[in-house]
Structure 1
Amino acid sequence: MPADPSSTNARRGNPARAGRASPKRGAEPGMSRHATMNIGCRLIAATAATMMAVAPVLAEPARPGRPAQQRAHAETVATLAAAFQRAFRSNPDILAQRASVRATQEAIPQARAGLLPQVSATAYAGVLSARSLLSGTPTSSYQSGTFYQRGVALTATQTLFDGWRTQNSVLQAQAQVGTQREQMRAIEQAVLLDVATTYLAVATGQALVEVQRRNVGFLTETLTTTRTRLASGVATPTDVAQAEARLSRGLADLSSTETDLSIARDRFLRIVGAPPAARLAPASAVDRLIPRSRDASRDIAGQDNPAVLAAISSVKSAESAIRVAQGQMLPQLSMQAQVARDIGIDVSTLRTDSAQVVGRLTVPLYAGGAPEAQVRQARELLGQAQMQLDSARVQSRSVAFAGHAALDNATFTIRAATAEVRAADVTVEGVRKQADAGLRTLTELLNAQQDSVNARARLLQAQSDRLVASYTILAATGRLELPRLGVTQPAVGAPPPQSDLGVRSDAWGELRNPTGPARPASAR
């Protein structure tokens, strides 16, 4: 027990502290009651403040907009189709790429603006003070004056020919949009593949946990029976030790399997945005969508893989970039019209109204070698894009081939593991009966049970591997899309890019928008 502080203070020669700490040692009764009242008042005040702070929170009804993460975590996903839909709608990687597509789309109207009229209004006002020295007089004389000048002008400029730079810039922007769209498809299919892989990992983990729990139950029952037989003099202490060792191994295997399941569930939450249900529905096979042979998968992957299509669009964009750079060395033709009014130019002129139309032809002769260098640079970038296209084709074909090989191997493993499970179950039942009759040892029974558990684990893993290989082939061939899978695709359509072909009714609308980027729930 800890020492009494009051007695300690008394022993140290501090009777005042000892008296205040314990009324029995000479403290005044009034001071004790006063201290007790102060403590009671403080407790009451603290309790009241806590209740006042907590009561609004407890009484506040649940608003749909505030606890978004809590609602997301409360909603569980039980089917693979629901997981696909949720990830397609809310996965941050997909949303980021959709925003990139929308941003790239705005390059098209920017490129079209090169051949559209440019109209501007100008107004000015100022003071001009001038002093002039006059000649031709016997003596020098000066003339000075102050003029308050002001005026307005309206100018319109129309480019007639720019070396086809605008047309090629539009083609380049369209190719860039195509690249971004295909990259978005690639990211969508990669996310859907991750969803399918994680879903199957969770479902397999749940099944393996059940297998390990049944194994622990079997080993527990075996240990109880062995101890009973030991008490009867039939079994030996060695048999009990073996049963205890196998039970300990079974508990360790169960703990490891539960840990793997919890990791898979956390990864599922990160990818899908919602936790998996306690029992997931079986995933349906997609064999009808898979090419029949490895060579067919390789050929389709080399043509329809989103990464390959994105690389093709990048090659088209690089070709247009060369023509845009070459257009700088061609003549430029434009026309400009201006209407102006100037007031208070000088003493003799009160107002001047003017209108003019000017055509300009500009022929580049020498620009320091910059246009030529840009052409050479664009050609090198075209070569790089072509090499990237070849690399994308090789990689997609390799992934499709590997996926088909894994599919064939998993199919064979499933057939073998199914037969092994059937034989292992029969073996366990037969060895148990023979062990009860004294014809088999406990070690043989425990080994048969372990073989049965291992066979079931291999079967479950092979079934999961086969489905994962199927979805891998679909992603490599560009077929891992929700409509193809028979899943309703969430509406994520985005409005087309704005065009400046006509005069906009609100030219300053973009300046009044918030500076922060918009974050739509989903757009494509």
Structure 2
Amino acid sequence: MTGLPLHRRRALSGVSLRVLLAAALAASLVAPAWAEGAPRPAQRSRVAAQPVGVTSLEAALARAFASNPDIQAQRGQVRATNETIAQARSAGLPQVSATAYAGVLATRSIMRGPPNTVDSATLGQRGVALTATQTLFDGWRTQNSVVQAQRLTEGQKQQLRAIEQSILLDVATSYVAVLTGHALVDVQRRNIGFLSTTLANARTRLASGVATPTDVSQAEARLSRGQADLSAVEADLQIARDRFARLVGAPAGAQLRPVRPLQALLPQSREAARDVAGTGNPAVLAAMEQVRAADAAVRIAQGQMLPQLAVQGQVSRDYDTATDTRRVDSAQMVGRVTVPLYSGGGQEAQVRQAQELLGAARLQLDSARLQARSAAFAGYTAYLNAGATIRAATAESQAAQVSVEGMQKQVDAGVRTLVELLNAQQDLVIARGRLIQAHGDRIVATFTILAATGRLEPARLGIASLVPAGQPVAPARSDWDVRGDAWHDLRTVPPAETRPSQQKRSGN
């Protein structure tokens, strides 16, 4: 700038100054927005602290077994039904009660005359009594009620096993769906890459006069179809991931591990699987317990028509029972025998009703056994079919791959048309998809057989160590704890922060 005239140097200096000022102003305006958009250190730490999704089937099964709400609800049902055993036993144990009373007794007596006289008195009566009753014989209703409660509790436990295995089957199915979905998406993306390259080559060949516009249109159509297929499998994958998160309570990881083979847990044949399901399926075992409970209900109803024997003892102390009596102490022991003779036919109707329910329970057992055997047979058939499909699809995929590679060379040499290459690529994609789906179907069929035969359990699956200890059943509470809670309800007062006096002081 030293060689320029003075007025030119001053003009350039003014322009440079304005440029610097504009740059500084722009930096001052952009810097806050840049700072807002840039991740702060705390934000980075929060993103890094996000939990990683479930990446293995064993972890997914263990998490669902420990925290699935349907399983938790059934465990609560088991604990609730288990309390009916204590309720049934209480009928055969002594019943002790204490009684206290206080009141006023006013009397007025008119004596025959002549002359008629009137005698009146007012007494403040009070007294206490302790009564104990023991049933000696009630037609074996107590014993049968205990048996019924035990059978119902065992039935609920078997129902819990059925729900657990059903949830584990759903988790395995959803895991396989996510695993299969990722593989299908990868196949479709590779197909998109191949079709994009083919379209680019077709356009290059068209520009050089080797290809025709029809070849380019065919490649464009196949690429559009491939994009639609990719969108479809991506949508299916998102649905499968959402279902997995709902069942497991955690999202699936980006990379899922392969499923460990479980063929060693399967029966040897379809017939063997059907036989095992008929005796080991949890639904069948639950139906068996229902039959035993219904049989006990018949005996309970019949026991109402048998004699009842009980003994009762009582000690009491009464004050001011009469004008000339200060206190009366008494003790008694009474035995009672009750023989029901006729009750209008109600007890007999209850017996007939219980017998009909027993027959219905037996029919339900037959239905549950047939369903379990059919599910095991169908699952084993699907397992064998998936194995045959895997073998055929593997050979088909290998042959299709060789066909595409050879067809590509022949198209470059001008021996084959582009549409033949596109058809061969479509066959390869279909073969790979069928192979992936067959692998998934075989895994699902394996878990279906295990669930139908009652073998889909943490111990057999090798995930028992991953399940938190003490998960199925919580410790029972004692009678005194429950009674203490009942009395505590009468002594409960509002918390200090909600008392009216403090609310007035706080101005609320």
Q: Scaled by the length of structure 2, what TM-score is found?
A: 0.85
> Is the counterpart of residue 189 in structure 1 residue 165 in structure 2?
yes
Corresponding position of 1:204: 180
CA RMSD between the two structures: 2.1
Aligned-partner residue type, residue 225 of structure 2: R
Q: Distance in 1 between matches of 2:482 and 2:240?
A: 52
Q: Distance in 1 between matches of 2:251 and 2:283?
A: 30
Corresponding position of 2:503: none
Corresponding position of 1:106: 83
Aligned-partner residue type, residue 490 of structure 1: P
Alpha-carbon distance change, 193 to 329 in structure 1, aligned in 2, over 3 angstroms: same
Which blocks of at least 5 consecutive residues in structure 2 are unaligned? 1-41, 491-508
Query: Superposition pairs for residues 409-420 of structure 1, below 5 Å?
Result: 409-420=385-396
Q: Residue 456 of structure 1: which of 404, 410, 432 is its match?
A: 432
Q: Residue 125 of structure 2: which of 149, 153, 165 is its match?
A: 149
Q: Residues 64-108 of structure 1, C-alpha deviation per residue, up to 9 Å, x if partnerless?
A: xxxxxx999945111000110111011111111111101100000
3-state secondary structure, aligned to 2:107: strand
- Deviation of 1:198 (Å): 0.6
Query: Superposition pairs for residues 71-150 of structure 1, below 5 Å?
Result: 74-135=51-112, 137-150=113-126
Q: Residue 379 of structure 2: which of 403, 422, 429 is its match?
A: 403
- Deviation of 1:512 (Å): 3.5
Alpha-carbon distance change, 218 to 505 in structure 1, aligned in 2, over 3 angstroms: closer
Query: Superposition pairs for residues 284-433 of structure 1, below 5 Å?
Result: 284-433=260-409
Q: Residue 245 of structure 2: which of 265, 269, 272 is its match?
A: 269
Q: Residues 231-286 of structure 1, C-alpha deviation per residue, up to 9 Å, x if partnerless?
A: 11111111110010000000000000000001111111111111111111111121
3-state secondary structure, aligned to 2:330: strand
Query: 1:73·1:275 contact (CA, 8 Å) conserved in 2?
Result: no
Alpha-carbon distance change, 505 to 256 in structure 1, aligned in 2, over 3 angstroms: closer
- Deviation of 1:509 (Å): 2.6
Q: Distance in 1 between matches of 2:217 and 2:418?
A: 11
Corresponding position of 2:4: none
3-state secondary structure, aligned to 1:298: helix
Query: 1:175·1:313 contact (CA, 8 Å) conserved in 2?
Result: yes
3-state secondary structure, aligned to 2:321: coil
3-state secondary structure, aligned to 1:121: strand
Q: Distance in 2 between matches of 1:208 and 1:232?
A: 36
Alpha-carbon distance change, 380 to 73 in structure 1, aligned in 2, over 3 angstroms: farther
Alpha-carbon distance change, 493 to 196 in structure 1, aligned in 2, over 3 angstroms: closer
Query: 1:332·1:361 contact (CA, 8 Å) conserved in 2?
Result: yes
> Is the counterpart of residue 490 in structure 1 residue 454 in structure 2?
no
3-state secondary structure, aligned to 2:463: coil
Q: Residue 230 of structure 2: which of 254, 271, 288 is its match?
A: 254
3-state secondary structure, aligned to 1:508: helix
Which blocks of at least 5 consecutive residues in structure 1 are unaligned? 1-57, 63-69, 515-524
Q: Distance in 2 between matches of 1:134 and 1:414?
A: 110
- Deviation of 1:370 (Å): 1.1
Alpha-carbon distance change, 120 to 405 in structure 1, aligned in 2, over 3 angstroms: same
State the identity %. Answer: 63
Aligned-partner residue type, residue 128 of structure 1: L
Alpha-carbon distance change, 72 to 292 in structure 1, aligned in 2, over 3 angstroms: farther
Q: Residues 418-469 of structure 1, C-alpha deviation per residue, up to 9 Å, x if partnerless?
A: 0011111111111111111111111111111111100000000000000111
Query: 2:75·2:473 contact (CA, 8 Å) conserved in 1?
Result: no
Q: Distance in 2 between matches of 1:321 and 1:512?
A: 36
3-state secondary structure, aligned to 1:285: coil
Alpha-carbon distance change, 237 to 513 in structure 1, aligned in 2, over 3 angstroms: farther
Q: Distance in 2 between matches of 1:469 and 1:339?
A: 71
Q: Scaled by the length of structure 1, what TM-score is found?
A: 0.82
Alpha-carbon distance change, 173 to 506 in structure 1, aligned in 2, over 3 angstroms: closer
3-state secondary structure, aligned to 1:233: coil
Aligned-partner residue type, residue 175 of structure 2: Y
Query: 1:106·1:498 contact (CA, 8 Å) conserved in 2?
Result: no
Aligned-partner residue type, residue 282 of structure 1: P
